[in-house]
């Protein structure tokens, strides 16, 4: 937080939002250490403030896409769902690690941009990533299979706040995992002592304890009176048998807002923004310049054609997108997407694919020397034209073998037999 204040601006504002989220989560941990787990519906309401704060942090990033600190905002926006680990079972630790890995794509960009310019931003990256590293250690020690609730006390209810004071009315548990930092309470379990005294008084009656039992006559026994078998049994009025609660999924906390954001296709400075289009098959950008960049975000089942030469193209969080473009001066990036098809009509030096499942790249004879860089992606195919104009499909390797040759690691492509 200190470094964020030194950087100031939108970085500081977003950091304050994250701090509020951390305070909210701390209150959840305090409550869980003193109260029993509520029902699924009550738990959803209980965690609602945390969910709202996560969305607030992410929406702040979306509202500041033109900021120079967009990589900072994106690193936080991609990883802040890690706060939702309290609703993840049975492996919240790996979930936090996954969110941390998502942040590193953007923190690496920050490091690249400021490494030799401003050490303050480098320290910011280290401090921010350390938050999730420490959280993983805490979860591993105290909440390995999910948020641990107290075995005693009333069920948690209502909504959690950012206040550090725990809600009243929850007696302390016998030994639950302590939330950071530990908080002492002075609530006395008077009801439990009274119940125990009543139980001992009953046991001390000895043989007289059976004096109040009702005698069962022959006409009340089924083997003496078969007609009783045809009668309906009385409705059970006692407590229901224990039923294990259903596992809570992360989507309850990380649910996105149902409000649909407006579709955008506009030039903002030197950036073309193509956002939130669904089932649009005729999107075209025709008036382009070499200094312009194109950013395509959250487009679903749509097709975009870019005419002329632009500086770079980024496809982010899109599904079933078809992209056709002429030329780029720099890189074409495909991030966090699914089922994307890209066709190059001219030249492109590099195509980068990161955290994407399903990507088909149609090249032409003028760009066969382009570099394709991939990470954490699957189902990638490169289609190359032959002399007749037909495309031949070549899969991009996904499986590798690494060995030690005595001096260094050597990694080679592994072909799956079968």
pLDDT tens column, 192-215? 445 555 555 555 555 555 555 555
Structural contact between residues 375 and 354, judged by C-beta atoms closer than 8 angstroms: yes
The parent domain of residue 346 ranges over 264-413
Number of domains in the chain: 2
Percent of the chain with pLDDT over 90: 52
Where does a domain end: 115, 142, 169? 142
**Start-to-end C-alpha separation, the chain:** 53
Average pLDDT over residues 322-349: 94
What are the residues whose beta carbons fall under 8 Å from the beta carbon of 320, sequence distance 6 or more?
300, 301, 302, 338, 339, 340
State the pLDDT confidence band at 399, using cuts at 50, 70 and 90.
confident
* 251 found inside a domain: no
**Domain presence at residue 381:** yes
Q: Which residue has the higher pLDDT, 260 or 24?
A: 24
Q: Is residue 225 included in any domain, yes or no?
A: no
- Note the pLDDT of residue 39: 85
In a domain, 195, yes or no: no
Residue 132 and residue 268 share a domain: no
Q: What is the CA radius of gyration of the chain?
A: 30
- Tokens at 144, concatenated: 């390995």
Beta bridge partners of 331: 350
Residue 345 has pLDDT above 80, yes or no: yes
Better-scored residue on pLDDT, 415 or 305: 305
Asked if residue 336 belongs to a domain, the reply is: yes
In a domain, 192, yes or no: no
For the chain, give the mean pLDDT: 81
**Structural tokens at position 225:** 């009176």
Q: Using DSSP, state whether 352 is helix, strand or coil.
A: strand
Query: Which one, of 51, 60, 43, 4, lies nearest residue 24 by Cα?
Result: 51
Residue 75 lies in a domain: yes
The pLDDT of 137-149, averaged and rounded, is 91
Q: Domain with 106 in it: what CATH number?
A: 1.25.40.330
CATH number at residue 359: 2.160.20.70
Closest CA to 58 of 253, 278, 249: 253
- Average the pLDDT over 211-220 and give the result: 59
Q: Residue 246: its pLDDT value, please?
A: 46
Answer with the one of 118, 142, 166 that is the final residue of a domain.
142
Q: What is the DSSP string of 355-413?
A: S-EEEEEE--TTSTT-EEEEES-EEEEEEEE-TTS-EEEEEPP--EEEEE-SSSEEEEE
Is the four-CA dihedral 279, 281, 282, 285 of positive or negative sign? positive
Among 96, 125, 142, the domain boundary falls at 142
Assess if residue 236 is contained within a domain.
no
Number of H helices, E strands in the chain: 8, 16
Residues 136 and 270 in one domain: no
């Amino acid at each position: 937080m200190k470094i964020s204040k030194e950087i100031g601006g939108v970085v500081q504002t977003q950091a304050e939002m994250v701090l509020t989220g951390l305070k909210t989560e701390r209150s959840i941990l305090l409550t869980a250490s003193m109260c029993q787990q509520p029902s699924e519906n009550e738990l959803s309401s209980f965690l609602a403030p945390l969910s709202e704060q996560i969305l607030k942090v992410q929406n702040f990033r979306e509202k500041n896409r033109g900021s120079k600190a967009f990589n900072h905002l994106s690193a936080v926006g991609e990883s802040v769902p890690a706060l939702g680990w309290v609703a993840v079972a049975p492996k919240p630790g790996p979930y936090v690690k996954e969110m941390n890995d998502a942040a590193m794509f953007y923190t690496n960009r920050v490091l690249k941009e400021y490494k030799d310019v401003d050490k303050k931003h480098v320290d910011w990256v280290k401090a921010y990533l350390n938050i999730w590293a420490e959280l993983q250690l805490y979860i591993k020690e105290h909440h390995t299979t999910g948020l641990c609730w107290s075995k005693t006390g009333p069920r948690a209810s209502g909504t959690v706040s950012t206040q550090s004071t725990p809600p009243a009315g929850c007696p302390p548990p016998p030994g639950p995992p302590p939330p950071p930092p530990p908080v002492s309470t002075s609530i006395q379990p008077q009801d439990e002592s009274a119940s125990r005294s009543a139980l001992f008084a009953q046991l001390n009656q000895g043989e007289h304890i059976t004096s109040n039992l009702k005698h069962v006559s022959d006409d009340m026994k089924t083997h003496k009176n078969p007609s009783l078998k045809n009668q309906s049994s009385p409705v059970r009025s006692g407590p229901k048998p224990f039923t294990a609660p259903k596992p809570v999924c992360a989507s309850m906390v990380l649910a996105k807002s149902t409000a649909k954001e407006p579709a955008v296709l506009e030039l903002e400075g030197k950036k073309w923004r193509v956002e939130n289009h669904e089932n649009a098959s005729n999107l075209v950008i025709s008036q382009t310049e070499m200094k312009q960049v194109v950013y395509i975000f959250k487009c679903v089942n749509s097709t975009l054609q870019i005419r002329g030469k632009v500086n770079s193209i980024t496809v982010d969080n899109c599904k079933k997108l078809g992209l056709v473009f002429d030329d780029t001066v720099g890189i074409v990036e495909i991030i966090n997407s699914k089922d994307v098809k890209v066709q190059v009509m001219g030249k492109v030096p590099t195509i980068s694919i990161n955290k994407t499942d399903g990507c088909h790249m149609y090249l032409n004879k003028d760009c066969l020397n382009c570099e394709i860089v991939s990470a954490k992606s699957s189902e990638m195919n490169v289609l190359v034209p032959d002399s007749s104009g037909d495309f031949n499909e070549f899969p991009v390797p996904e499986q590798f073998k690494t060995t030690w040759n005595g001096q260094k690691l050597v990694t080679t492509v592994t072909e799956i037999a079968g």
